Structure formats: structure tokens, C-alpha cells
Amino acid sequence: MRYKEHKHESETKHSSLFVISFLCVFLCAAALGTLRLYGLYLEHRISETARRIDLCKEENLVLSRRYAQLLSPARVYNYARRDLGMNNAENIKVIKLDERSVRLAQVKEETVEKGGFIENLNPFVKQAHAKN
């Protein structure tokens, strides 16, 4: 009888040890599978981010080219002529003034602004100035 009891006890020990080891192997496999899925998810996010960075670089390049085109001197010159009606000036003359002539012009301007009694009689007519 002892042998049968001993045999029965040893079978239960082996079967419980088998179940525990199977559960450990199953949990390890599940953990590895979960880690692999998480790794694939991270890889997908990295590739998506790299794709977005490439798209932003391309867009930045296109916008840089557009910016350079907008600021090109030829485009600004054409815009000024065509849309704003600006043309090259003809018969340009340069006048150099010394300080004395500038002071004389200021004094004349002050006297004109003060005016006399006769100039101020008519409120509807005033003397024209370059400032007006």
C-alpha cells in the first residue's frame, strides 16, 4: 500500500510542477509577444514621424524658393512698374546747397508764414506753400 500511496503522491507533484512550469512558459511567451507588439508600435510611430519630418523639409524647401522668388529684385522692379506705375526718372538734376542758403530759405519761410496785415485780410485766399 505504501507504494501506491507514494506513487499517487509523486504523480500529483509531477502534474502540479508541470502546470506551474507551463504557466511560467506561457507568461514569458505572452510577455515577449507583448514586447514585440509594443516594439512594432514604436517602430511605426518612428517611421510616421520620419515621414512627417521629410514632408516638412520638402514644404520648407518649397516655401524658401517661393520666398526667394518674391524678394528677387527683378520681381520687385516689375511689380513697381506694372502695378504701382513707377518709372525711371528722366532729366535728374542734383542741386547742392550750402548752410547759408538753407538758413536763408528758413528765414524766408518764417516771414511768409507770419505774413502782413494785408495778406491776412482775405480769409479765403492764402499764399501757397510747398508744405501745403
Residue 28 has pLDDT above 80, yes or no: yes
DSSP category for residue 88:
-
Q: Is residue 72 part of a domain?
A: yes
Handedness of CA 7, 10, 12, 14 (dihedral sign): negative
Q: Is residue 49 part of a domain?
A: yes
At 126, the pLDDT band (50, 70, 90 cuts) reads low
| Alpha-carbon 43 to chain mean position | 28
Q: Is residue 53 part of a domain?
A: yes
Q: Is residue 61 part of a domain?
A: yes
pTM of the model: 0.43
**Distance (Å, rounded) from C-alpha 121 to C-alpha 34?**
101
DSSP category for residue 56:
H
Name, of 95-99, 107-111, 113-117, the range with top average pLDDT.
95-99
Count of domains for the chain: 1
Give the pLDDT confidence score for residue 32 in this predicted structure: 96
Q: Is residue 74 part of a domain?
A: yes
**Once rounded to an integer, what is the mean pLDDT over residues 60-68?**
95
| Alpha-carbon 58 to chain mean position | 14
Q: Is residue 123 part of a domain?
A: no
Q: Is residue 58 part of a domain?
A: yes
Q: Is residue 114 part of a domain?
A: no
At 77, the pLDDT band (50, 70, 90 cuts) reads confident
DSSP category for residue 130:
S
Residue 46 structural domain: 12-83
